[in-house]
Amino acid sequence: MRVPEVRQFCELDDAGQQLIKAAMIQIQLSARAYHRILKLARTIADLAGEESIQSTHIAEALHATRLTEGDDGLMRAILA
């Protein structure tokens, strides 16, 4: 998906927008990472059979993205 398709198919409710904005500030997401998370959240919502992306889908996408990026501190916290 390119940016126009992301805008069309990855609309967020207020809770989802607040969550991703907070994540952008706290973990300093780039625009590329922002779009990658939205696309992953869309996939998670599709697999759950949901029409819209919910904040839980955003949270799961953020978590999965942080794990795959090799955040060792997060991995240690999860495995402890």
CATH number for the domain harbouring residue 13:
1.10.8
State the residue range of the domain holding 22: 3-79
**For residue 56, what are its two tokens?**
């839980």
* Interatomic CA distance for residues 79 and 25, integer angstroms: 26
Q: Looking at the 3D structure of the chain, how many domains does it have? A: 1
Its pTM surpasses 0.85? no
pLDDT, tens digit, 9 for 90 and up, residues 32-43? 888 899 999 999
Burial class (CB in 10 A: 0-12, 13-18, 19+), 45: buried
| Mean pLDDT across the chain | 80
What value, to the nearest 5°, has the Cα angle with vertex 14 and ends 9 and 16?
60
